[in-house]
Amino acid sequence: MGRAIAVRTEHTSSEVRELAKRAKNAAQARRLLAIAAVLDGASREEAAKNGGMDRQTLRDWVIRFNEQGPQGLVNVPSPGAPGKLEGAHKTFLARIVDEGPIPAIHGVVRWRACDLIMRLHEEFGLSVSDDTVYRALKELGFSHVSARPRAHKQDAEVMEAFKKTLPHAWRKSVRSSLPARREVWFQDEMRVGQKNKLTYRWARTGSRPRAAHDQRTQSTYLFGAVCPERGAGAALVLPVCNTEAMQLHLDEIATKVAPGAHAVLLLDRAGWHGAAALAVPDNISLLPLPSCSPELNPQENIWQFIRQNWLSNRIFKDYDDIVDHCCHAWSTLLDQPWKIMSIAQRDWATVRQLL
């Protein structure tokens, strides 16, 4: 019979028991107590029994304890089989996802898992599963998100220039005689109708859920505006989208501006936004955004949030039902001012940034 392996002695049995008491891993604590029993002079058989193991297992843990100390008594998970995707594969995957597909060449407007699998096979002769691609994309910092709107005629340089020159445009649009307290608001309109949109939803893997899609055409317009720094908003549901409707909305926004403050309202260049017939309230100044630049208007993201949470995947019975749902959606949004602050805040359009 072989000799028992001696336990390293820089830790006393009391110290080992104290380590076991503080250990967050139950298996490590049990092994430490068995080793503490050995240090107290108990037989290896008795110490192994107290630790819920046999003598050979205790011997193995004593070796680990001698080599690595108390931390060596924690189970090390098996690394498993090596992944199929190596560094070069992941670099290639990240590059093509960042660049996106070219519709005329690749035949798709967004990459799907099957497209990425095909590209990996063409480039490296590698065959992988959908799950492998999804895991790799998550490791690389990608997630499956909906795209932000972009006008096909937009000019990125004009948009960046607008952000940089916004303080000057702000001071030009607001008269010096007006109150020193200022607010930034964003405004836009959204059509809501019976011919509604279908959005992504959670469903059992492998299933393809069905949703009713109405083909009737009754609709209305939701005029909305938000102040991201206050989490405030003002909206009207109106049957038409014209200068008269815009006038009503401006009057409504004027009532929501903080008392004693002046609001600069950023909005797109729709015809009714700059009509000569508009009587802009005294506590509001209009500041048009560059043409074809929906990304600069966070009200677009507010619309997306409202559709995804309260308006999409619905069948509206009639016009009044559409109006009721629009009112409910907006009221629910106003009850969550932190959502407005989170979705609509832009660091280039805050009062502190502009003054």
> Using alpha carbons only, how large is the chain's radius of gyration in Å?
32
Tokens describing residue 152: 């096909």
Look at residue 4 and tell me if it is in a domain.
Answer: no
> Are 122 and 261 in a shared domain?
no
> Are 202 and 349 in a shared domain?
yes
Angle value at C-alpha 290, between 302 and 272, nearest 5 degrees: 70
Instruction: Give me the chain's average pLDDT, please.
Output: 84
Q: 185 Cβ partners below 8 Å, 6+ apart?
A: 225, 226, 227, 253, 257, 263, 264, 265, 266, 284
Instruction: List the domain range (segments joined by +) for residue 28.
Output: 13-73
Q: What is the pLDDT of residues 52-99, one digit of tens each?
A: 888 888 888 888 888 888 888 888 777 767 788 999 999 999 998 888
> Are 55 and 106 in a shared domain?
no
> Are 109 and 54 in a shared domain?
no
> Are 176 and 273 in a shared domain?
yes
What domain count does the chain have?
Answer: 3
> Are 35 and 174 in a shared domain?
no
> Are 193 and 300 in a shared domain?
yes
> Are 132 and 261 in a shared domain?
no
| Residue 22: burial class (beta carbons within 10 Å; 0-12, 13-18, 19+) | exposed
Tokens describing residue 189: 């309109």
> Are 18 and 102 in a shared domain?
no
> Are 260 and 231 in a shared domain?
yes
> Are 225 and 255 in a shared domain?
yes
The rounded distance, in Å, linking the Cα atoms of 341 and 59 is 60
Q: What is the pLDDT of residues 102-126, one digit of tens each?
A: 877 887 777 888 889 999 999 999 9
Q: Give the β-pairing of 232-238 and 182-193.
A: unpaired
Look at residue 151 and tell me if it is in a domain.
Answer: no
> Are 69 and 94 in a shared domain?
no
Q: What is the pLDDT of residues 332-345, one digit of tens each?
A: 999 999 999 999 99
Highest averaged pLDDT of the listed ranges 12-16, 119-123, 149-153, 305-309: 119-123
Evaluated on CA atoms 129, 131, 133, 136, the torsion sign reads negative
Look at residue 146 and tell me if it is in a domain.
Answer: no
Look at residue 81 and tell me if it is in a domain.
Answer: no
